[in-house]
Chain A
Amino acid sequence: MADLALVRPFAVRRGMAWGALFLLGLVLFALVLVRRPELAGDPATVRRLGDVLLWHSLVPRAATALLAGAALGLSGALLQRVLRNPIADPSTLGIAAGAQLALVLALAFAPALVAFSREGTAFAGGVAAVGLVMALSWRRDFEPVTVVVAGMTLSLMAGAASAALILARGDYVFSLFIWGAGSLHQQNWQPALVIGTRLALGVLAAVLLLRPLNVLALNDAGARSLGVAVGGMRCLVIAVAVWLAASVVSQVGVIGFVGLAAPAFARVSGARRPGEVLLAAPLIGALLLWIADGAVQLASAGDGDVIPTGAAVGLIGGPLLLWLLPRLPHHAPPMQAAAGTRRRLRRPGRALLVLLAATGVAGVAALVMGRDLDGWALASGPVLAELAVFRLPRIVAAVAAGGLLGAAGAIMQRLTGNPLAGPEVLGVGAGAGVGLAAALTLDPGAGTALLVGASAAGALGALVIVLVVAALTGFGPERLLLAGIALGCMGLAILSAVFATGGPGSFRLLAWMSGSTDKVGVDEARLMAVAALVLLAPVPLLVRWLDILPLGAAVGTSLGMPVTVGRLALSLLAALMTALSAFFVGPLSLVGLIGPHVARLAGFAPGRAFVLASALIGAAVLLVADWLARSLAFPYQLPTGLMAALIGGPYLIWLLQRGGGENG
Chain B
Amino acid sequence: MRAELPRSTVLTRRTLLATLAAGIVSVPARADTRAPRVATLDWALLETLLAIGVVPVAAAELVLFREVAVEPPVPASVIDLGLRGAPNFEALRLARPELIFNSLYYAEAEPKLSLIAPVETISVYRSGGRPFAAACEAALRLGAATGEETAARALIAGVDAELGALKDRLAQRAGRPLLVINLGDARHFRVFGRDSMFGEVLARLGFANAWQARTSYSASAPIGLEALARFPEAFVVILRPVPPDARRILPESALWNALPNVREGRVAVLDSVDPFGGLPTARRFARLLAGALERGRIGAGGVFG
Q: Which A residues contact B (CB, under 8 angstroms)?
A: 37, 39-41, 45, 48-49, 52-53, 56-58, 107, 111-112, 114-115, 118, 167-168, 170-172, 174-175, 177-179, 183, 185-188, 190, 302-305, 308, 370, 372-373, 386-387, 389-391, 443-448, 500-504, 507-508, 510-511, 516, 518-519, 521, 630, 633-637, 639
Contacts and interface: CB of A to CB of B under 8 A. Distances in A.
B245 A118 contact: yes
B225 interface: yes
B249 interface: yes
A516 B90 contact: no
B115 A389 contact: yes
Contacts of A507: 85, 105
Interface string B198-226: 00000000000000011011011111111
B190 A174 contact: yes
Interface string B179-194: 0001011111010000
Contacts of B185: 175, 178-179
Given A303-B213, A448-B108, A635-B81, A41 B223 contact: no
B249 to A, nearest CB: 7
Nearest to B65: A170
A508 B95 CA distance: 26
A236 to B, nearest CB: 31
Given A171-B64, A519-B112, A504 B190 contact: no
A637 B82 contact: yes
B230 A387 contact: no
A390 B249 contact: no
Given A519-B112, A521-B111, A502 B219 contact: yes
B225 A185 contact: yes
11 contacts: A49-B260, A57-B226, A372-B94, A390-B89, A445-B127, A447-B107, A504-B125, A507-B85, A633-B82, A635-B80, A636-B82
Contacts of B252: 188
A636 to B, nearest CB: 4
A41 B260 CA distance: 10
Interface of B: 1-2, 61, 64, 67-68, 79-83, 85-86, 88-91, 93-95, 104-105, 107-109, 111-112, 115, 125-127, 182, 184-188, 190, 213-214, 216-217, 219-227, 229-230, 232-233, 241, 243-245, 248-249, 252-256, 258-260
Contacts of A190: 249
A40 B232 contact: yes
B250 to A, nearest CB: 8
A370 B255 contact: no
B188 A171 contact: no
Contacts of B1: 443, 445
Nearest to A523: B111
B230 A39 contact: yes
B127 A188 contact: no
A303 B182 CA distance: 15
A304 B221 contact: yes
Given A390-B93, A500-B221, 19 more contacts: A37-B230, A168-B83, A170-B68, A172-B243, A178-B184, A178-B187, A179-B185, A183-B224, A187-B186, A187-B225, A187-B226, A303-B220, A305-B222, A308-B222, A445-B2, A448-B111, A500-B222, A502-B190, A635-B79
B70 to A, nearest CB: 13
B232 to A, nearest CB: 5
B199 to A, nearest CB: 16
B243 A175 contact: yes
B201 to A, nearest CB: 20
A322 to B, nearest CB: 30
Nearest to B108: A519
Given A41-B232, A370-B90, A56 B227 contact: no
B188 A183 contact: yes
Given A187-B186, A386-B93, A501 B221 contact: yes
Contact of B90 (A52, A177, A387, A502): A387
B242 to A, nearest CB: 10
Contacts of B127: 444-445
A345 B91 CA distance: 44
A185 B79 contact: no
A573 B232 CA distance: 61
A37 B188 CA distance: 18
A302 B227 contact: yes
* For the complex of A and B, 10 pairs with smallest distance between CB atoms: A185-B224, A445-B2, A304-B223, A52-B258, A635-B88, A636-B82, A635-B91, A57-B226, A115-B244, A187-B255
B224 A503 contact: no
Nearest to A306: B221
A188 B258 CA distance: 12
A635 B248 contact: no
A174 B216 contact: no
Contact of A167 (B79, B83, B93): B83
Contacts of A634: 82, 88, 91
Contacts of B253: 56, 187-188
Nearest to A383: B94
B85 A174 contact: no
Contacts of B232: 39-41, 45, 49
* Of B2, B221, B245, most A-chain CB atoms within 10 Å: B221
Contacts of A308: 222
A178 B222 contact: yes
A183 B88 contact: no
A634 to B, nearest CB: 7
A164 to B, nearest CB: 10
Nearest to A519: B108
Nearest to A514: B86
B255 A188 contact: yes
Contacts of B105: 504, 507
Given A171-B68, A516-B86, A112 B254 contact: no
Contacts of A114: 244-245
Nearest to B96: A386
Contacts of B217: 444, 503-504
Nearest to A442: B1
Contacts of B190: 174, 502
Interface centre among B61, B81, B86, B88 (most CB of A within 10 A): B86
Contacts of A37: 230
A642 B95 CA distance: 28
Contacts of A386: 93
A524 B93 CA distance: 20
Contacts of A186: 187, 224, 226
A503 B108 contact: no
A635 B233 CA distance: 48
Contact of A49 (B126, B245, B259): B259
A310 to B, nearest CB: 12
A635 B82 contact: yes
Nearest to A374: B94
A372 B92 CA distance: 10
Contact of A177 (B85, B222, B233, B255): B222
Nearest to B214: A303
A391 B126 CA distance: 32
A41 B111 CA distance: 55
B114 to A, nearest CB: 10
A307 to B, nearest CB: 9
A637 B112 contact: no
A178 to B, nearest CB: 5
B254 A40 contact: no
A510 B82 CA distance: 16
A448 B182 CA distance: 31
Contacts of A58: 226
A84 to B, nearest CB: 38
Given A185-B224, A188-B249, A445-B104, A45 B86 contact: no
Contacts of B248: 115
Nearest to B185: A175
Nearest to A389: B115
Given A49-B260, A188-B253, A167 B85 contact: yes
B233 to A, nearest CB: 7
Nearest to A115: B244
Contacts of B230: 37, 39-40, 302
